[in-house]
Chain A
Amino acid sequence: DVKVTQSSRYLVKRTGEKVFLECVQDMDHENMFWYRQDPGLGLRLIYFSYDVKMKEKGDIPEGYSVSREKKERFSLILESASTNQTSMYLCASTKVPGQGTDEQYFGPGTRLTVT
């Protein structure tokens, strides 16, 4: 059974803290994604990666960075957390674009609150 896991379901951090969100997939997928989801908005892409040590900015990369040192692991870093980064963060992975349905497999999400 395919699986994407995220390090925490719920996280509370203070303004200015450095925050690490980790995502691991066991499907040997090349592509991994970080989204944030806010009420009334569609999923917004923060960063994605097509390969180890490779990263591309999504639609809203400001205030975030990522790391992909191993194929199965994709980390999202909030360098200095701010209250407007309070959100649900979803990690996803997929094989290779354009092959079959290329559905994205999502992790359970991390609900981050910055106070």
Chain B
Amino acid sequence: GQNIDQPTEMTATEGAIVQINCTYQTSGFNGLFWYQQHAGEAPTFLSYNVLDGLEEKGRFSSFLSRSKGYSYLLLKELQMKDSASYLCAVMDSNYQLIWGAGTKLIIKP
């Protein structure tokens, strides 16, 4: 079956760096997405990786290793507003998105 694994919850300190991991097993691969979802709100797009390597976008970076079925989202200079759930999703060979359960990130002052 298809599976996306990510930690349920993480805690970090304001100003610090946090890495949220995602491992996947899917039928084919057409890219990996990271979304941010604040409590009670809709998910919003953060990043997309289809080739191996690191994609940097301001304070957020996303890494992909297709051979290992692994990705991480790196958040630097954490701010209180980064408290949210972070969803990992993989697009399979049929262009369907397979979603992880999300990682709830708690930022402490």
Contacts and interface: CB of A to CB of B under 8 A. Distances in A.
Given A40-B101, A106-B44, 20 more contacts: A4-B42, A42-B4, A42-B87, A42-B99, A42-B100, A42-B101, A44-B99, A45-B97, A98-B95, A101-B31, A101-B48, A102-B48, A102-B91, A103-B33, A103-B48, A104-B43, A104-B97, A105-B45, A106-B42, A109-B42
A43 interface: yes
Interface of B: 4, 8, 30-31, 33, 40-45, 48, 87, 89, 91, 95-102
A97 interface: yes
Contacts of B97: 43, 45, 104
Interface in A48-77: none
| Secondary structure class of chain A's binding surface, majority of residues | loop
Nearest to A38: B101
A103 B48 CA distance: 8
Interface of A: 4, 40-45, 90, 97-98, 101-109
Contact of B101 (A41, A90, A105, A109): A41
B45 A97 contact: no
A31 to B, nearest CB: 9
Nearest to A42: B99
Nearest to A107: B42
A106 B43 contact: yes
Contacts of B48: 101-103
Nearest to A101: B48
B99 A43 contact: yes
Nearest to B42: A106
17 contacts: A4-B42, A40-B101, A42-B4, A42-B89, A42-B98, A42-B99, A42-B100, A90-B42, A90-B43, A97-B30, A97-B91, A98-B95, A102-B48, A106-B42, A106-B43, A108-B41, A109-B42
Nearest to B30: A98
A42 to B, nearest CB: 4
B95 A42 contact: no
